[in-house]
Chains A and B, each alone.
Chain A
């Protein structure tokens, strides 16, 4: 019996060590072969979650690429942005979505919930920093191990298929064919007494916002101009109720970064997919306008927000 247990333990420990070595080897091989170079060389990119994903139709904006992805937290955006910037010298401007729902504490737990880890980790495993791996492991070990195995499968299949192109999996414009705004508005009725929580008791995100800071620092270090932007939202969107807290964070934590606010971009209800997202009609209208805005020299303006507001009128 002792011999049996000893043999099993020795086999398991050895297997574990060899697995770790193989995993490291797979990661470094993936890193060495990975491709992030874009065919068209854009000057500007936008990153973030579903709001910019649905708002910026990059086929309508010159020299512009959308890399946003639904539900993405800054924790993962940071990894993506790093790889894109380092491999595409043409990029001059990085627009990062920063909107009302980005400040909630729930964004932190979103980083390591089962669904998110399983979806994002296998794509980014090889490029995550050691600290990030530790965070995921510490906060959701089961999902981490599941995602780790998925990631290795994906990496092996990539070798099998000689496919190391990651850039196409990093997100893009989402053509939203949805018209739910009117029905949603009918259901929410009149908004009742939306009280702002006291700032000191507001459940702010710490971890995820720290990665927004890292994105900014990385862009600056690599001589890219970074802008925080807020995509259009319906004025009656529920998340807009934290506006005071949002402005507080914006000015306290990110006052060193230029903020371009498009939230009040005039759109009809039929141009929203729902209260937080533009449908394809809204995206077409907004993106064409952004294209003009950029061509008209928005980024050369000193007071960019006034220029935006003026153009919106």
Chain B
């Protein structure tokens, strides 16, 4: 079920009403969340519900077994069972064809011709997200940061929690699971805030991402026919598409969770206003970056060792992060490129220069900040070309065509309405950059209740741009 579908518009009020009718019974509320989440997921493909259920049972059991055993060896064994089961599923469904194909290619390189027939595997929606979420549970239990739950229903609801099941934010068990034990009380302010965030998320997805997608796809799919300037515009459209799509999903997920009294972690914090790549990565897909930081970077030694260790760990994190997105060399190159961007900052110790959002106590950025934002944006746009391309050949050809003789010509495609919408989003995000999401406090203190008019305009734009339901990009990951 898509967030931007009529099905979800019917599903959400029903679950919301039932949920708060059951407010006296915490267990029943959790059960309702679990059942609703399975319905939500099952509407894509009910067969994969068994996969989630199996993963839930394994991690629930391993959590208890880790706690019950004092022997270090046994605790480690149970942790590894959980890791292998989860990563095994992920590896099989997502990466088996990639490894097989590259294995065959490697043989061909050495003169041994092998025939490759890809396995017909359907990728379960959101497998990378819930796999990482459940892994965080067993790892934290193993690290004794978390007491394993004995409440199977609460655990099932935690693993399958529908607002963030298929595209995050990837929650830490230490943050989300305890919320299932606590009695939830309807909080008017939280719910209204949640509705605002849902509205803004839908706007970014339906109006911005889906419209950018139309032109980005057209340009990327026919790049040979367009001028260099148009190809740049295509990459910029994709840059906004992926932001609108993914941050839009996260906003809807966080907003929906608030309606049910849950607090999910923030996933985006105005990444395109970053002044360097290190800041960008603190603001983009925060739940994944911090996951890798906590469960991979730090165990590898983090930045405690020498320079070589820092460089190695940085590359590992970025390459794995790229590979997490998909079984394609384009994602790996995208990760490597970001590592290269990041490296100079790390080596010069400048990677934590900008912790606060730009111009926090000012209305406008300084000229220097504007240049920094522009430079970071250009680097990001360039890297997204690899992310969007079908394969490396496509990416390199695309870049080659950018630097053609008509690089400085007027773009062949100039959708003025879309440019205006992008400008609108940039302005709104700038105005709201100190908040959790852009429209959190926008106009709400206005004398004449302009915020209702503003919400209506957003709703109307969603209505007119929402005729065709488009899947979220990150579902494929």
- Interface residue ranges, A against B (CB under 8 Å): 1, 3-4, 7-8, 11, 14-15, 18-19, 22, 118, 142, 145-150, 152-153, 156-157, 160-161
Contacts and interface: CB of A to CB of B under 8 A. Distances in A.
A149 B456 contact: no
B20 interface: yes
B467 A146 contact: yes
Interface string B447-470: 000001001100110011111100
Contacts of B465: 149, 153
A15 B462 CA distance: 12
Range class of the B interface residue count: 20 to 34
Given A1-B188, A147-B467, 4 more contacts: A11-B456, A145-B6, A149-B463, A152-B463
B464 A8 contact: no
B456 A153 contact: no
Contacts of B463: 19, 149, 152
A7 to B, nearest CB: 8
Contacts of A152: 463-464
B253 interface: no
B373 interface: no
B186 interface: yes
Query: Which of A1, A3, A8 has most chain B Cβ within 10 Å?
Result: A1
Contacts of A18: 456, 460
A222 to B, nearest CB: 34
A7 B152 CA distance: 36
Interface of A is mostly: helix
B464 A156 contact: yes
B467 A160 contact: no
Contacts of A147: 467
A4 B460 CA distance: 21
B416 A160 contact: yes
B188 A149 contact: no
B341 to A, nearest CB: 38
A150 B452 contact: no
Contacts of A22: 460
Contact of A150 (B6, B456, B467): B467
Contacts of A161: 416
A15 B416 contact: no
A160 B455 CA distance: 22
Interface of B is mostly: helix
A146 B192 CA distance: 28
Contacts of A160: 416-417
A142 B416 contact: no
Contacts of A157: 417
- A-B pairs with lowest CB-CB distance, top 8: A149-B467, A150-B467, A153-B464, A146-B467, A152-B464, A1-B186, A149-B464, A4-B191
A145 B5 CA distance: 12
B130 to A, nearest CB: 30
B383 interface: no
Nearest to A5: B17
B442 to A, nearest CB: 16
Nearest to A7: B192
B192 A4 contact: yes
B195 interface: yes
A11 B452 contact: yes
B456 to A, nearest CB: 5
B416 A1 contact: no
B434 to A, nearest CB: 26
Interface string B128-139: 000000000000
Query: Which of A19, A148, A149 has most chain B Cβ within 10 Å?
Result: A149
B455 to A, nearest CB: 7
Contacts of B464: 149-150, 152-153, 156
A146 B468 contact: yes
